[in-house]
Structure 1
Amino acid sequence: MSNQRVNATSPLAQETPHQVRLSNASDPTPGEPSVHELATIGKSLLIRGDITGSESLSIEGRVEGSINLPGNRVTVRRNGQVSATIAAREIVVLGHVDGRCEASDNLDIGSEGSLNGDVVVSRISVEDGAIFTGSIDMR
């Protein structure tokens, strides 16, 4: 079940409103914390700079710079375009990534995804039709 809420507790909420989606596999009981938080960069957005935080990120727009979410998942959606270094627990590429990727758990490149850059991973999955150019360092 998905809920959409504006994260009003963030200090950024007063300066730049952003949307946080809370997704749970099952309905939470009252007072129970959410299982998974997901921030989304929408299709029309261009972000230049460094992104850091402690929640998962879905990218449908463009990002240039660096993304550092070490305990979380970064998903580059089908329309997403990223020119950045990405460091996360999990990285899923369904769009286009140009830059170095470091995934402490796994990296998945979907059939319509493309990744141009070196990767450092524990596990990697590249579907038929995906494009990968670079080197792989398995750790």
Structure 2
Amino acid sequence: MNNDLFFPHSPQEATLVNLLRYRAIQQPNQAPYTFLIDGETEKVSFTYEKLDQKARAIAALLQSMKAFGERVLLLYSPGLEFIAAFFGGLYAGATVVPVYPPRGKQRMTRLQAIAQNAQATFALTTSSVITKLGQSFKGLP
């Protein structure tokens, strides 16, 4: 494989997706992101290769749902899952809209307003967030 294909040769080619792909090939075992639990204690980290794999899996799911060019809400708490979803959305050709998961009734209206304003057609989140929000979504469009 010609690794030079992923190296940006012009400003138009210098995208986050191309950079991640290039790093996954050139520095697969280096960790670009580490999540710190309390600002000091390391929780987990991804290598470029692992991040690329996770992002591509998310992109494949989004592409299978025809999300190219669509807006996708990212309902994630801070962490590595958000980063993988962010890159996955970019890989899929979607416009990602990061939104902190709502808490309580007031924030649910905020989420609805953001989704409506962004004209989002898809949302990605974790199973723990969807479990917490499960009851809040009942009866909502």
TM (normalized to structure 1)?
A: 0.24
Bigger CA radius of gyration: 2
TM (normalized to structure 2)?
A: 0.24
Bigger share in helix: 2
Pick 1 or 2: higher relative contact order, CA cutoff 8 A, min separation 6.
Answer: 2
